[in-house]
Amino acid sequence: MVESPPGLEGQGFFATSLDSLVGLARANSLWPLPFATSCCGIEFMSTMASHYDIGRFGAERLSFSARQADVLMVMGTIAKKMAPVVKQVYLQMAEPRWVLSVGACACSGGIFDTYSVLQGIDRIIPVDVYVPGCPPRPEQILDGFMQIQELAKKESTRRRNMPEYKALLASYGIE
Ligand code: SF4
């Protein structure tokens, strides 16, 4: 059972703000879009499987369609040739959308400090949470996912229309 958001509580009822209620619903029904290109993707398979079971967080329904996804999980090495594809997938996602960068390669290029590898996906799209490690263990991926849940829970329903958010997107050339 999830905890009810802060507000007035009594036997059989609670009263709270709409923002908290929407945040509660969003946080516990985040649909991930796994963008896995290499070894970190294998750790994600383990995160999905019965032992770690990401379904405990309401996220067992993977979305391979960007338009029905809430969290873009980028896992693995992203070659510069692949970068426009990652950005296109991000652009196709509806708001509110979150981005989880999993593993050293997605966060910073990892050990591949070469001409052909993107040195971190935050060079092309905004990232909400970074999970370090090469590879990160499933517990770390779950922890990163829980951080996204916290962000979703606390986010105001107006945030995506705020000038600060628009300025953030504009800094990535996204209108
Ligand atoms: S961070 Fe390490 S484990 Fe993950 S994709 Fe890169 S090389 Fe593979």
pLDDT for position 13: 84
Q: Is any atom of ligand 1 closer than 6 Å to the C-beta of 110?
A: yes
Banded pLDDT at 147 (limits 50, 70, 90): very high
Protein residue whose Cα sits closest to atom 4 of ligand 1: 40
Q: What is the pLDDT of residues 9-55, one digit of tens each?
A: 888 888 888 888 899 999 999 999 999 999 999 999 999 999 999 99
The mean pLDDT value of the chain amounts to 94
**Which ligand 1 atom sits closest to the C-alpha of 75?**
5
Q: Is any atom of ligand 1 closer than 6 Å to the C-beta of 135?
A: yes
Share of the chain above pLDDT 90, in %: 85
Determine the distance separating the centroid of ligand 1 and the alpha carbon of 153, expressed in angstroms.
30
Pocket perturbation via mutation, ligand 1, pick of 134, 137, 141 by most ligand atoms within 8 A of CB: 134
Q: All domains of the chain, ordered by start, with CATH?
A: 27-171 (3.40.50.12280)
Would the pTM count as exceeding 0.75? yes
- pLDDT over 70 (residue 1): no
Under 8 Å between Cβ of 129 and 101: yes
Q: Is any atom of ligand 1 closer than 6 Å to the C-beta of 77?
A: yes
Query: Residue 101: CB partners within 8 Å, gap ≥ 6?
Result: 74, 107, 120, 121, 122, 127, 129, 130, 131
- pLDDT over 90 (residue 6): no
Q: What is the pLDDT of residues 57-93, one digit of tens each?
A: 999 999 999 999 999 999 999 999 999 999 999 999 9
Determine the distance separating the centroid of ligand 1 and the alpha carbon of 140, expressed in angstroms.
14
Under 8 Å between Cβ of 98 and 145: no
**Which ligand 1 atom sits closest to the C-alpha of 134?**
2
